[in-house]
A = this chain, B = another copy of it.
Amino acid sequence: MQRTYDELVAQARTLTAERGLAGFTVEELCDRVGISRRTFFNYFPTKEDAVFGEYDTGFPQKEQDEFVARGAGDHAGLSPTLLSDIARLVITRARHNDFTRQRHQLFRDIVRAEPHLMAKLMAVGESQQRDFARLVAAREGLPPDDPLPNAIVGVTLSLTFQTVDEFFSDDNDHSFEELLERNIAIARQFFGQPLRLPDPTARPDPTGSP
């Protein structure tokens, strides 16, 4: 079952990237995988659903449980190893065997061939971002709509996506870990600076002086 499922997703993605969704039929997809049309619909309601599959880029349950457990104990403010533990989660995810240049490029090709899939892909991404924020909220003992987990997950994903793009660029010869560590170091430097905002009641100083 799982093997048929995986094969359907892989072939549906390849065909979509090559020809667009309208460029192949469910029958053609089934022929490639060696199943009947009827069997196909036991797996997916539509061709488009096969392209997405579970789109599982979440974290395994065991890693999630460990991540939450490591936030236990008394602490004022954030749990003390939050930054390191989040970086470890991201690195562990990047070591999974579906994290390949080929898969990365495939999704670019799919969206190029079928721009309307972008909206669905973004909805999936937003739902994963919410799951990640809920995980951080659970660990930190915060309500799920607290702005803190959202802000932390947002900046983490921003650095992660940049790291993924750099890692898969043609001229890269660094490891994912090295690139992520460098990007976190940039954010540490940036957010370590003093912050002086303009007087809230005044318009920003037109001379631009602090």
* Chain A residues at the B interface, C-beta cutoff of 8 Å: 63, 66-67, 69-70, 77-78, 80-85, 87-88, 91-92, 95, 111, 115-116, 118-120, 122, 147-148, 150-152, 154-155, 157-159, 161-162, 166, 175, 177-198, 200, 203-204, 208, 210
Which residues of the partner chain B approach A120 to less than 8 Å between Cβ atoms?
115
Which residues of the partner chain B approach A186 to less than 8 Å between Cβ atoms?
147-148, 151-152
Q: How many copies does the complex hold?
A: 2
Contact of A88 among B122, B188, B198 (CB under 8 A): B198
> From A78, which residue of chain B is reached at the shortest CB distance?
B189
Which residues of the partner chain B approach A157 to less than 8 Å between Cβ atoms?
158
Which residues of the partner chain B approach A183 to less than 8 Å between Cβ atoms?
147, 151
* Interchain CA distance A22-B111 in the complex, whole Å: 22
* Interchain CA distance A178-B204 in the complex, whole Å: 15
- DSSP majority for the A interface? helix
Which residues of the partner chain B approach A191 to less than 8 Å between Cβ atoms?
83, 155, 184, 187-188, 190-192
Which residues of the partner chain B approach A111 to less than 8 Å between Cβ atoms?
119
Q: Are B158 and A190 in contact, with the CB atoms below 8 A?
A: no
Contact of A200 among B66, B166, B177, B182 (CB under 8 A): B177
Which residues of the partner chain B approach A196 to less than 8 Å between Cβ atoms?
81, 84
Contacts beyond the supplied A84-B193, A188-B191: 4 A-B pairs with Cβ under 8 Å: A88-B208, A118-B119, A175-B200, A191-B192
* Interchain CA distance A183-B155 in the complex, whole Å: 10
Shortest Cβ gap from A173 to chain B (Å): 14
* Interchain CA distance A152-B183 in the complex, whole Å: 9
